[in-house]
Amino acid sequence: MKGVRISVKIKNMLYVSLGFLFLGLGIVGIILPLIPTTPLLLLASYFFVKGSKKFERWFKGTSIYKNHLEEFIKEKSMTRKKKITINLFADAMIAVAFIMADSTIVRVVLLLIIVYKYYYFITKIKTI
């Protein structure tokens, strides 16, 4: 049983560490408008939830969470500017992978990801 508890602790520490990593990147995104803040903070929130109730409560109490995520999580909505910024950043990252990929299958999958991403942003996330 000790081995199981230790591995759970290590897993939780990894989740919390990833939460802080994405929180840091999200903060950089607040300062540099080129980097999309919302998806990075969503990842931070996800990892804090998986890693520790204490860090989840702490993160949800921060002004960063309240200013950048709370509305999205409650209302499933975003401003048009946020949607465009996130999509353009994601498109740039996918374009790099597309250019570097030698496989036709990989390129088709990347194109399908782009199509689904736009479908999701247009139909599932309200614009405020």
Domain identity same for 6 and 58: yes
In this structure, the answer to whether residues 23 and 67 fall within a common structural domain is yes
Rounded Cα–Cα distance for residues 95 and 44 (Å): 25
Q: Is 18 helix (H, G, I), strand (E, B) or coil?
A: helix
Tell me the pLDDT tens digit for each residue of 38-79: 888 989 999 999 999 999 999 999 988 888 888 778 888 888
Residue 19 pLDDT greater than 90, yes or no? yes
pLDDT band of 104, cuts 50, 70, 90: very high
Instruction: Tell me the one-letter amino acid at 38.
Output: T
Counted domains in the chain: 2
Alpha carbon distance 65, 23 (integer Å): 10
Assessment of whether the complete model's pTM goes beyond 0.85: no
Last residue of a domain, one of 56, 75, 94: 75
The domain in which residue 37 lies consists of 1-75
Q: What whole-number distance in Å separates Cα of residue 97 and Cα of residue 106?
A: 9
**12 contacts 51 by C-beta, under 8 angstroms:** yes
Q: Over range 15-40, report the average pLDDT.
A: 86
- Whether residue 124 is predicted with pLDDT greater than 70 in this model: the reply is yes
61 and 91 housed in the same domain: no
